[in-house]
Amino acid sequence: MRRAGASALIAAVLALTLAAPGVRAADGPPISGSVQNFDVRDEPIPMPQTPFQTADNEERTLADFRGRVILVNFWATWCLESWRELPALERLQVELGSDDFSVVIMSQNVEGWEKIKPFLEKRRFNFSESYYDEGFKLGDAIDLPRQMGSILIDEIGREVGRLDGHADWDTPEAAALIQYYLDGAGHGT
């Protein structure tokens, strides 16, 4: 009886420890709290070089970001959850943004920059990396099911994971997830 009680106690402590924010298996990123639905790729996959547009109608591709970790957030002006998520993404950019990391917002609006620019200006968002995925070309190429979501891409240009839907990106859990990849995790996988 006593031995069974001790085993149950050890199992309970282990379960609580593994569920604690920022705790991870030795070979994986910290996933908990606001990013608990982040889906880590078993093996990172190269990103397609599908073009998207700048506000000046110049074409860019994800290859333009090689050398830094990027969080690409797909959003739309008509999506109320995006309204809530964009300020959190901006705070994440302020906290962790550097030569090594950027938040990239990718609008899915069908109206294009005519709708996107006034929306961002009215709300005083200041994203230096704001783009338009005309015709959902990039979203389709990465198999984003025409809903909002975020893709985390390593400095080599590979998707390391994604979160379908929305998250609170300005939390310690989100910062720990991003920092894990900034610290060089996942190399050689």
C-alpha distances (whole Å) from 88 to each of 38, 55, 175, 184 are 16, 22, 11, 24
Assigned domain for 51 exists: yes
* Total tally of structural domains belonging to the chain: 1
Assigned domain for 6 exists: no
Q: Which letter, b or e, does each residue of 158-182 get, where b requires 16 or more Cβ atoms within 10 Å of its Cβ?
A: bbbbbbbebbbbbbebbbbbbbbbb
Q: Is the pLDDT of residue 88 over 90?
A: yes
| Assessment of whether the complete model's pTM goes beyond 0.85 | no
Assigned domain for 149 exists: yes
Assigned domain for 21 exists: no
Assigned domain for 133 exists: yes
- Residue pLDDT, tens place only, 25-53: 446 888 888 888 899 999 999 999 999 99
- What is the pLDDT at residue 27? 64
CATH at residue 90: 3.40.30.10
Assigned domain for 115 exists: yes
Host domain of residue 69 = 26-182
- What is the pLDDT at residue 84? 87
Assigned domain for 97 exists: yes
- What is the pLDDT at residue 16? 33
Assigned domain for 18 exists: no
Query: In the sheet where 149-153 sits, what is the strand order?
Result: 39-46, 158-164, 149-153, 69-75, 101-107, 130-132, 52-53, 59-60
